[in-house]
Amino acid sequence: CGVEPAAVVGHSQGEIAAAVVAGGLSLRDGARVVALRSAVIGAALAGRGGMASVALSADGVRERLVGWEGRLSLAAVNGPSACVVCGHVEALEEFVGVLEGEGVRVRRIAVDYASHSVFVEEVEGELGEVLAGVCGRSGEVPFYSTVTGGVCDTAGLDAGYWYRNLRQTVRFEETVRELAGRGF
């Protein structure tokens, strides 16, 4: 269609599509990562957690998470006042109630699992096994990773990377700032 990206970035699972566009994953491997990751989430994590969008800064969210250590996590930093919190359903409901009481805009996301939380650690081995054959390769388009917060050689997009992509906080705001700082 004539679209030639100067750089790519993706958010959480969106990084898989970005890696394919960058040339870092074949379409086949990209589809395998999507399908196999989703199958593992569905089998092991579904029904055990939740996520909520919070209109606060990352620091504001971290301050408020103090009472929920081990039960809630900062899942994603999407913008200056846009974050996602994830974790145990009961703790998430309490947290949402507290924020609503403070007048903070917060809403549950329609999922029944908690990506980017401690729950994901339970499936590290399984993800490693099912994604063992996925091989990244150096792409032609710069790939900005929301796992590392900057440009990343796609040759390193192996099973370990895709585990970190699912477990760690999504550093979208930081990565977009990096792109903007480089003129994108």
Residue 124 and residue 108 in one domain:
no
Cα 15–Cα 159–Cα 124 angle in degrees, nearest 5 = 105
- The CATH number of residue 174's host domain is 3.40.366.10
Residue 39 and residue 123 in one domain:
yes
Token pair listed for 133: 């054959």
Among 112, 143, 162, residue at a domain's last position: 112
Res. 3: pLDDT tops 90: no
**DSSP letter assigned to residue 183:** T
Kindly state whether residue 85 falls inside one of the protein's structural domains: yes
Each residue's pLDDT tens digit, 76-115:
999 999 999 999 999 999 999 999 999 999 999 999 999 9
Each residue's pLDDT tens digit, 8-52:
999 999 999 999 999 999 999 999 999 999 999 999 999 999 999
The pLDDT assigned to 1 comes to 85
**DSSP letter assigned to residue 124:** H
Please give the Cα distance from 25 to 29 (Å, whole number).
6
Each residue's pLDDT tens digit, 126-160:
999 999 999 899 999 999 999 999 999 999 999 99
Please give the Cα distance from 33 to 20 (Å, whole number).
11
Q: What count of residues does the chain have?
A: 184
Q: Which residue range(s) make up the domain with 161?
A: 8-44+119-181
pTM: 0.93
Residue 39 and residue 78 in one domain:
no
Please give the Cα distance from 93 to 50 (Å, whole number).
9
What is the average pLDDT score of the chain?
A: 96
* Domain tally, the chain: 2
Please give the Cα distance from 75 to 94 (Å, whole number).
17
